[in-house]
Structure 1
């Protein structure tokens, strides 16, 4: 499979159009090689599809074919489907799992129209789910993917059975000053790759980050070779959070550098019925650190929602 077969007509060298783009062909080829290598590390997808949304085509992958409500994965900033390598085996044991590459992030999806606000973000997700034929799903997102899942719960709850958010960025607490250099690492041109890897290691609690780690190589290439054009994610208001009606599981990382975990947890608990936990040993890279624990906790949470809606109970 060539890169061009996997990617959906990527934007290359299109500054000024308010959509995410790869700076040049060499940068895209470098990213595409890292992406392709990352995909090769995953379980074999049962299905690889492309669906249309108002904001551009979305690439989706289906892993497994279990009965029941599927779980859909939303990746973090500068990340895409290969970031879920550690999580897929555990999640697939009990659920059909879909992963979709986010509009506006470096991945196999392509942004065609500017994203103006959080409602636009929720809209492309809802349209992608409809295009995949998924009427009702569990959304599971990490970092900015957790923020995105929360926005779908606020703006498009009709397509959700639940959301699970893993240390969501700028969702329940303000970003800390420590998050600023990491953000700058994704936008400053010409930053040495070793500095980008150092930033990735820092946000991941000191975990190794270099070319030998597929996820790190992919994210570092996205930071170097892709320019995003998304609006700054707005933190949900108190009124928006208390209006959420879908079941919520929020897992906050006690060692996260992006926010104060206890403050975030206190805010998350204002969501009616939310199940909120702080995992003291976890960093912002919680999905890679505790994949089995996350799979078990999510399975327990999802089963609880199914039991509550089962008419025989």
Structure 2
């Protein structure tokens, strides 16, 4: 069984501007969902808590081998169990490290405010320094993709390649539909039935969140956790253009987060060397919809990245 830490719980943390669970019942509900979701993951090779200037970051290692690891960064209100569909196939590609984002619900515990994008990159770079002396490959879903790009912009020495899955705030903002869903899903007192419908809209209606442990985890995070994160800023065009490592961007043709074709066109203009793809059948929940296809695409992408590095 995974060890879930004693977290920030109760209104006494509100004034500290750090993420916290609103009440003990919510903390216990989330903890139960996390442990349940984790039980469906492959065997963990190592679990480690890394102290940083902004809090303690929880990381897990999966898989064997000495290849450069692939680091997975989850989306907003998510954590390591969201990768349940992906880990079995990805650990066949290379060793995998997952991190729970600091300031989000999960097993990482924030202790100091995150005031800007520089702070968000700083804690991630500090954690990766402890985990790996070499640059790592980073794959981020949704806001995790923004975190990966933010890291590449501010700490390029930590990154060997970047791949993002339907990530907002990298090449553009979000649609009014996504804003509506995001605001509605975190309203206090929102009935779980309505919240699940909103989350189902994000995931293209493939499966109601309550049907899956990771869905219940995200729903609990939205209901029970209060985050105090800085405004997510889109990286400057010149900063994106300056990213020199191999870059893969996959966007869902059915995503409500943005207009995929428009975002892809903008991405190709800003980063001509990047590999930018629109998967027509995918929604924002592309990682859960196409796990085998993502693993195959990542195998190809990482092989190309490491071949180019050795050339």
TM-score (norm 1): 0.96
Structure 1 equivalent of residue 301 of structure 2: 301
Structure 1 equivalent of residue 271 of structure 2: 271
Q: CA deviation at 1:186?
A: 4.1
Cα deviation, 1:139-191, whole Å, max 9, x if unaligned, reads: 00000001111101111110110000000012212210001122113431111
Structure 2 equivalent of residue 19 of structure 1: 18
Q: CA deviation at 1:199?
A: 0.8
Q: CA deviation at 1:204?
A: 0.2
Change (3 A) 1:134 1:226: farther
Q: What CA distance in whole angstroms lies between the structure 2 residues aligned with 1:102 and 1:30?
A: 19
Q: Which moved more, 1:225-234 or 1:204-213?
A: 204-213
Q: What CA distance in whole angstroms lies between the structure 2 residues aligned with 1:191 and 1:73?
A: 30
* Structure 1 segments of 4+ aligned residues over 3 angstroms from their partners: none
Structure 2 equivalent of residue 121 of structure 1: 120
Gaps of 5+ in 2: none
Structure 1 equivalent of residue 139 of structure 2: 140
Structure 2 equivalent of residue 207 of structure 1: 206
What SS does the corresponding residue of 1:48 show, helix, strand or coil?
A: strand
Q: What CA distance in whole angstroms lies between the structure 1 residues aligned with 2:188 and 2:235?
A: 30
Q: What CA distance in whole angstroms lies between the structure 1 residues aligned with 2:140 and 2:228?
A: 20
Q: Does structure 2 conserve the Cα–Cα contact (< 8 Å) formed by 1:185 and 1:223?
A: no
Q: What CA distance in whole angstroms lies between the structure 1 residues aligned with 2:65 and 2:162?
A: 19
Structure 2 equivalent of residue 83 of structure 1: 82
Q: Does structure 2 conserve the Cα–Cα contact (< 8 Å) formed by 1:137 and 1:159?
A: yes
Cα deviation, 1:218-269, whole Å, max 9, x if unaligned, reads: 0000000000000121112212211211211000111110111112112221
Q: What CA distance in whole angstroms lies between the structure 1 residues aligned with 2:96 and 2:283?
A: 24
Q: Does structure 2 conserve the Cα–Cα contact (< 8 Å) formed by 1:122 and 1:151?
A: yes
Structure 2 equivalent of residue 6 of structure 1: 4
Q: What CA distance in whole angstroms lies between the structure 1 residues aligned with 2:216 and 2:92?
A: 27
Q: Does structure 2 conserve the Cα–Cα contact (< 8 Å) formed by 1:198 and 1:209?
A: yes
Q: CA deviation at 1:91?
A: 0.7
What SS does the corresponding residue of 2:44 show, helix, strand or coil?
A: coil
Structure 1 equivalent of residue 165 of structure 2: 166
Q: What CA distance in whole angstroms lies between the structure 2 residues aligned with 1:110 and 1:199?
A: 27
Q: Does structure 1 conserve the Cα–Cα contact (< 8 Å) formed by 2:70 and 2:137?
A: yes
Q: Which moved more, 1:209-218 or 1:135-144?
A: 209-218
Q: Does structure 2 conserve the Cα–Cα contact (< 8 Å) formed by 1:181 and 1:199?
A: no
CA RMSD of aligned residues (A): 1.2
Structure 1 equivalent of residue 287 of structure 2: 287
Q: CA deviation at 1:67?
A: 2.4
Structure 2 equivalent of residue 249 of structure 1: 248
What SS does the corresponding residue of 1:43 show, helix, strand or coil?
A: coil
Q: Does structure 1 conserve the Cα–Cα contact (< 8 Å) formed by 2:199 and 2:208?
A: yes
Q: CA deviation at 1:26?
A: 0.7
Q: Does structure 1 conserve the Cα–Cα contact (< 8 Å) formed by 2:135 and 2:159?
A: yes
Structure 2 equivalent of residue 42 of structure 1: 41
Q: Does structure 2 conserve the Cα–Cα contact (< 8 Å) formed by 1:245 and 1:272?
A: no
Number of equivalent positions: 308
Q: What CA distance in whole angstroms lies between the structure 2 residues aligned with 1:118 and 1:243?
A: 17
Q: What CA distance in whole angstroms lies between the structure 2 residues aligned with 1:272 and 1:115?
A: 32
Q: CA deviation at 1:66?
A: 2.2
Q: Which moved more, 1:45-54 or 1:183-192?
A: 183-192
Q: Does structure 1 conserve the Cα–Cα contact (< 8 Å) formed by 2:51 and 2:57?
A: yes
